[in-house]
Structures are given as C-alpha cells and as structure tokens.
C-alpha cells in the first residue's frame, strides 16, 4: 500500500459465507510486532468469526518501509489519523472492526473514536490506557533483556535492518518524560461501538486498571475479560478464550 511517507505491507485472510460480507477485522500490532508475529492467530480469527481479517505492518516495522527519526509523542493517535485511513482505502474497506494488541490496542481505540460512524466493534488485548508504574518497570526489565545479542537477533528476523529503530521506538518513547502523561481518557468517550477489553491478570506491562479505565470512560458498553494465569499475549497464551470472546462480541454486534 502506498503512503506519502512510504509503502505499507498488509496481508488478508479471506472468509466465505454470509459473514464474509460483514465488516472485516483489522489487526493493529504491538510495539515490537508485525504481520508475521501474529503467527496463526489471524487465520484462526477468520475461521472463528467468519469475517475477513486484515493485518498490516506499521511504517518502520516488518516489511513496511523505514520510518526515519524518533517516534513522536502523539504516535498512537497519529496512526489513526494519518495511516489507518490509507489502509482502509487501499484495501477497499469502509466499515471495520478495530482489534489491537498492547499499544495497538490504544491505536484501535483511537481508530474507533476517530471513525466512529464506520467502526462496528472494538477489541483491545493487553492495551495500555495510561503509563502505569508496572508498565515502566516492565520496560526497564525489557531494556536489560535486549542487551543480550540473541534478543536483538530475534528482533532482526522480523524487522531486518530496522530492528534497532523498532526497539528504540518502543523503549525510548515509553520511557521518555514527554510521554509520561499520555492517556486514553480523552479519547474513550468518543468510542460509540460495542467493545471488548481482554487482559491477562499477570500482564507484566499493565495491571487490570487498564481495562477498567477503558470500560469506565468509553462512550459505549465494554465487556472486560480478565484471564487468570495469563501474561501480556493472551491471543498466544489463551487463544481459545480470546477467539470465543471475540466471536461472541461480533455475534451480538451483528
């Protein structure tokens, strides 16, 4: 997909039957993620819901083009306003379901709020709604872990020469003083579609306060699914539970 700042890579999983004509699910990945790191989840989601599923690499990630310079402090809202509409147009989509993991969950919230007339439902998985002490502590632990060459080599398998930029875009942004006051509080009231907030009880990057805030501030009903003995990646750790909850949400949303 062509964007003024560079090309974006996307992949689509097609569905069959009546549900295939309904709004597709668009996946927004986490801070170190890309299309490939969703692994087999998009195909399983397509099968569980009967809907088309689309995932794309944000600029600077995966197979998308390089993104120069540091990530701006407003990058979460910026994804919804500058990049997401290009994805919709390029893939011929108008109505959609926004599904985001981790920081992608914050982006999904912004997409649902900015394009409220076209967003049929919202799903957040391990989304951060503000910068919590637990989040900061998890990031500091990750910074130490990525001093190991093997960690960077793994990151490079998915992001190539962009790996160092990807890591700094995550740690450098979230640990910066400019980002410390970020929150979804001002955006959530503009969400008007049914929503599901999935969170692991043992998430190392955020406590259950995050889905609680999403539910308290959203402008539409939000169902919280707090999964016991689950960390930051519920769709990998507990895929059946995630798929069941998403399918139930979309069945009720029509």
Over the stretch 64-107, which tens digit does the pLDDT of each residue have? 999 989 999 999 999 999 999 999 999 999 999 999 999 999 99
- How many domains does the chain contain in total? 1
pLDDT tens column, 130-178:
999 999 999 999 999 999 999 999 999 999 999 999 999 999 999 999 9
Q: What is the spatial distance between Cα 26 and Cα 75, in angstroms, rounded to a whole number? A: 18
Helix (H, G, I), strand (E, B) or coil at 77: helix
Query: What is the extent of the structural domain holding 88?
Result: 2-253
Estimate to the nearest angstrom the gap between the alpha carbon of 172 and the chain centroid.
19
| Chain mean pLDDT for the chain | 95
Mean pLDDT of 109-125: 98
Residue corresponding to tokens 């599923």: 53
Q: What is the spatial distance between Cα 61 and Cα 45, in angstroms, rounded to a whole number? A: 22
Question: E strands along the chain, which residues?
Answer: 2-3, 6-7, 10-13, 25-28, 53-56, 96-101, 119-125, 195-200, 222-227
Mean pLDDT of 20-42: 95
Q: What is the spatial distance between Cα 197 and Cα 224, in angstroms, rounded to a whole number? A: 5
DSSP label of 1: -
Given the DSSP bridges, would you call strands 10-13 and 119-125 parallel, antiparallel or unpaired? unpaired
Q: pTM to 2 decimals?
A: 0.96
Please state, for a pLDDT cut of 90, what percent of the chain lies above it.
92
Mean pLDDT of 122-133: 98
pLDDT of residue 18: 54
Backbone CA torsion sign across 6, 191, 179, 125:
negative
For 119, 161, 232, the CA distances from 179, given in Å and listed in that order, are: 27, 26, 21
pLDDT of residue 204: 96
Question: 64 CB contacts (<8 Å, ≥6 apart)?
Answer: 6, 7, 8, 9, 56, 57, 58
pLDDT tens column, 210-221:
999 999 999 999
CB 15 within 8 A of CB 87: no
Mean pLDDT of 213-235: 98
- CATH number, residue 96: 3.40.50.1820
């Amino acid at each position: 997909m062509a964007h003024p700042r560079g090309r974006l890579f996307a992949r689509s999983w097609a569905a069959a039957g009546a549900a295939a004509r309904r709004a597709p699910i668009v996946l927004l990945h986490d801070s170190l993620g890309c299309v490939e790191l969703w692994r087999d989840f998009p195909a399983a989601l397509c099968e569980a819901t009967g809907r088309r599923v689309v995932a794309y690499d944000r600029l600077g990630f995966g197979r998308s083009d390089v993104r120069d310079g540091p990530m701006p402090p407003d990058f979460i809202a910026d994804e919804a306003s500058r990049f997401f509409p290009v994805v919709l147009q390029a893939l011929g989509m108008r109505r959609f379901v926004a599904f985001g993991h981790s920081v992608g969950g914050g982006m999904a919230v912004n997409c649902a709020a900015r394009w409220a007339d076209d967003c049929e439902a919202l799903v957040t998985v391990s989304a951060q709604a503000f910068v919590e002490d637990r989040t900061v502590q998890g990031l500091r632990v990750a910074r130490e872990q990525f001093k190991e060459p093997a960690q960077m080599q793994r990151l490079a398998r998915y992001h190539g020469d962009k790996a160092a930029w990807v890591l700094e875009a995550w740690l450098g942004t979230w640990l910066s003083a400019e980002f410390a006051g970020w929150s979804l509080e001002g955006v959530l009231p503009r969400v008007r579609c049914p929503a599901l907030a999935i969170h692991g009880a043992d998430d190392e990057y955020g406590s259950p306060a995050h889905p609680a805030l999403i539910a308290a501030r959203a402008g539409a009903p939000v169902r919280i699914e707090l999964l016991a003995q689950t960390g930051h990646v519920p769709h990998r750790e507990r895929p059946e539970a995630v798929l069941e909850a998403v399918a139930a949400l979309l069945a009720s949303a029509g």
